[in-house]
Structure 1
């Protein structure tokens, strides 16, 4: 398991966008009404993040920073410039097809109510769910196409940031690590595959603390690891 910690608010949002996109795409490929509901719920959360104007601004800024990476290939540099141009030309009304869709807006309003999408509450949803699986998929991917430009840019930025990294050894005393930092990085990564505990991060580009925590089952309280250990931490986008 690789744990990632964003060092900026922009990267934090990109990671959330990436997670929601992966969730929705996994769910929509399963021929189940409940999976389709989960896919649409994730899609609506995704749209609320993607359609914010500062997401586009942050993406353009990150694409400019990516193009400054010395190790970036010429092909990636051209792609970054192309993505920046697409986003710069994109109208602020680009998401109207989703945001003004009556069906999706009805679902959005009912999703916030606990148990609010039963057939007696929302027959329009259950009528749609009763359509053939392939039809539901086609509708879903038509909605996803509206945010394709931003999704392509988010995936590209995160790929380049993860690919531009240096490794540093961090010594944990009794399961705790702290230091002041002056990184220009955007993301930290720790591979915990060889351990049965997990990291809890706190910090930003100026200070960082990591606490190693173990929990044998959900019924046991989590507790800090009481041992000294050295771990390799990947500093990405520096």
Structure 2
């Protein structure tokens, strides 16, 4: 099954983008080639760009505190393991404290690093990191893989509290929903959302053998999904077939 996720608000949209970038960064840092490490640095700069809003830190901290309050309310429930609950709340406390001790906005610790900031200013220019533009960076790419990896790990270390907190929040959000099997009749599903509930994320799973791509539109009142088929010229055309898929609404 292919999984698609659609955020209902800008905050969750930012979390999803950052999670994808952190995942890519971790994979690239673990490789040995200089080209992989080049794109690891580009990904690092993308993370700084996406996470550069000054209010993002307070939003993540508020979400961690909100989740702690939600799970604290389960204390005394005989259906809930107190040991597991204590462990989860302790983990939320740890993530809160770790992020709260990070100074400034995401990536601020790197803004005084001349080598990285010179590279960041050039990567937006097509071909702007050639050896005649950035000889110091060209030399760094010729360091042995272990040396480059150590540098990368040192540079990304301040981002770890952010990555761990966002990973935990998204995991808890995804687990809050229950999956249902639905049908897009004649290729389209339109569903009204219940009043009084504030959904944050839609998750959709579809069989790849169907060869279809969902086009999703959501707001707090309505979900609209159209199933599209890609033509040989790349154009997407709405299908009129009945299409089964799984959908999860997460609050």
2:198 matches 1:184 = yes
Alignment match, 2:214: 199
What is the deviation of 1:123? 1.3
2:86 matches 1:74 = yes
Larger Rg: 2
CA deviations 1:60-117 (Å, max 9, x no partner) are 2222332315578332222113322333343327844312211111111101111111
- Structure 1, unpaired ranges of 5+: none
Alignment match, 1:52: 53
Alignment match, 1:126: 138
Alignment match, 1:30: 31
Would you say the 8 A contact 1:49–1:55 is kept in 2? no
- May I ask how many residue pairs the two structures share in their alignment? 236
Task: Say which SS state the counterpart of residue 227 (structure 1) adopts.
Answer: coil
Output the TM-score relative to the length of structure 1: 0.89
What is the deviation of 1:216? 5.5
| 1:3-152 map, 5 Å | 3-67=4-68, 68=70, 73-92=85-104, 95-152=107-164
Alignment match, 2:77: none
Output the TM-score relative to the length of structure 2: 0.85
Task: Say which SS state the counterpart of residue 37 (structure 2) adopts.
Answer: helix
**Alpha-carbon distance between aligned partners in 2 of 1:146 and 1:15, rounded to the nearest angstrom:** 19
Task: Say which SS state the counterpart of residue 188 (structure 1) adopts.
Answer: strand
The CA RMSD measured in Å over matched residues stands at 2.1
- Structure 2, unpaired ranges of 5+: 75-79
Q: Select the residue among 160, 166, 172 that pairs with 1:154.
A: 166
**Alpha-carbon distance between aligned partners in 1 of 2:198 and 2:38, rounded to the nearest angstrom:** 40
**Alpha-carbon distance between aligned partners in 1 of 2:28 and 2:105, rounded to the nearest angstrom:** 28
What is the deviation of 1:156? 0.7
| 1:220-231 map, 5 Å | 220-231=234-245
**Alpha-carbon distance between aligned partners in 2 of 1:204 and 1:78, rounded to the nearest angstrom:** 34
**Alpha-carbon distance between aligned partners in 2 of 1:64 and 1:97, rounded to the nearest angstrom:** 25
Would you say the 8 A contact 1:50–1:147 is kept in 2? no
Alignment match, 2:227: 212
